[in-house]
Amino acid sequence: MANSATIALPDVRTTTYWRRNQRKLAPVLFLAPGVLMFLVYVIAPIFQSIWISFYDWDGIGAKTWIGIGNYVELFDDDAFYTSLQNNILWLVLYMLAVPAGLFIAIFLNQTVTGIRIYKSLFFFPFVISQVVVGLIFSWFYAPGFGLFYLFLEEVIGTPIAILADERFVTYGIIAAGLWPQIAYCMILYLTGLNNVSPDQIEAGRLDGAKGWRMLWHVILPQLKPATFIAVVVTVIGALRSFDLVSIMTDGGPYGSSRVLSFYMYEQALSEYGFRMGYGAAIAVVLFAIMMVFISGFIWRMVRDERSGG
């Protein structure tokens, strides 16, 4: 070190400065590219969207400040309430993915030959794009020849064209969404079950715990981290639902299957016009709903982080 330092003087200064401060400088340099990209493409747009939501803007011409005008309009917009209602329905029904995933995971948590292939095949729906899932279920529900359509005809006598019926359309789409979501929860629980301590199960058995009681008192507490993640991804998945609505019904019939994410897109970017400000206002509402959950998750993670060191 000392030898090379005597050869090139200017270099020395930079090297020693760097040497002295590298523990302070290195994290800044390591973080810079990622943080910069993230700020530009994710963090800043959140605030820009909030800002745009106070304007009347078609995306091309001049912006006109209208204060809370967009939000006042939302207040009287029936389509907005339909979307909001559907979002709540999505949230509630999507939660079924968590127990259903647990159920399948318990069913598959065996060591018989070939079980690994069964596990991967059960997981399969999650790997497929939602566009393909949407098309698959459209075919499944298709009037005239869809498997489910014919099944209903067989069982209740009158067939129902699920995706063309205002009463059932959202349930039909949610069912399609549940398919990959259950697979996701299942894999989380399979991994969790794999790590349940055998000692505790044995101890539970000695205490006479079996079946449900064992599951409730011994297994589930140990699956808490898996349950937490399953709930997080399911809530996010429910509120992000856009692909399936767009693919399966395009919001119809008569806008009855819209959700906020889809309605926002429709207002801001579709043939119905470029109402960027109004779209942004819808996005802000969706963001506010999501924020309630995000802060809950983050609060929990910070707590774990602090206690875990």
Partner 1 sequence: MFPAPVERASPIIRYGYQIALPVALVLWLLPLLGVAVTSLKPTGDLAAGNYFGLPSHIAFENYADVFRNSLIGQYILNSFKVTIPTVIGAVALSCLTGFALAVYNFRSNLIVFFMFVAGNFVPFQILMVPVRELTLRLGMYDTTAGLVCFHIAFQTGFCTLFMRNFIKALPHELIESARVEGVSEFRIFRYIVLPLMRPAIAALAVLIFTFIWNDYFWATVLVQGSHALPVTAGLYALNGQWIAAWNLVSAGSIVAALPPVLMFFLMQRHFIAGLTLGATKG
Within 27-66, the residues that bind partner 1 by CB under 8 A are 27, 30-31, 33-35, 37-38, 40-46, 48-49, 52, 59
Stretch that binds partner 1, among 61-69, 75-83, 166-174, 222-230 (CB under 8 A): 222-230
By CB under 8 A, residue 301 contacts partner 1: yes
Q: Which is nearer to partner 1, 101 or 170 (CB)?
A: 101
By CB under 8 A, residue 266 contacts partner 1: no
Stretch that binds partner 1, among 17-25, 76-84, 153-161, 166-174 (CB under 8 A): 17-25
Q: In the block, which residue shows the tokens 């349950």?
A: 227
By CB under 8 A, residue 236 contacts partner 1: yes
Q: Using the rule CB under 8 A, which residue among 101, 173, 219, 258 binds partner 1?
A: 219
Q: How far is the CB of 233 from partner 1 (least distance, A)?
A: 9
Q: How far is CA 265 from the centre of its chain?
A: 17
Q: Using the rule CB under 8 A, which residue among 184, 255, 256, 257 binds partner 1?
A: 184
Q: In the block, which residue shows the tokens 């399966």?
A: 248
Q: How far apart are CA 258 and CA 264, in angstroms?
A: 10
How far CA 19 is from CA of 9, 14, 27, 81, 130, in Å, comes to 15, 8, 14, 60, 51
DSSP state, residue 41: I
Q: How far apart are CA 187 and CA 98, in angstroms?
A: 11
Q: How far is the CB of 257 from partner 1 (least distance, A)?
A: 16
Burial code of 34-67, b = ≥16 C-beta within 10 A, e = fewer? eeeeeeeeeeeeeeebeebbbbbbeeeeeeeebe
Chain positions 99 to 128 lying near partner 1, rule: CB under 8 A, are 106-107, 109-112, 115, 118, 120-125, 127-128
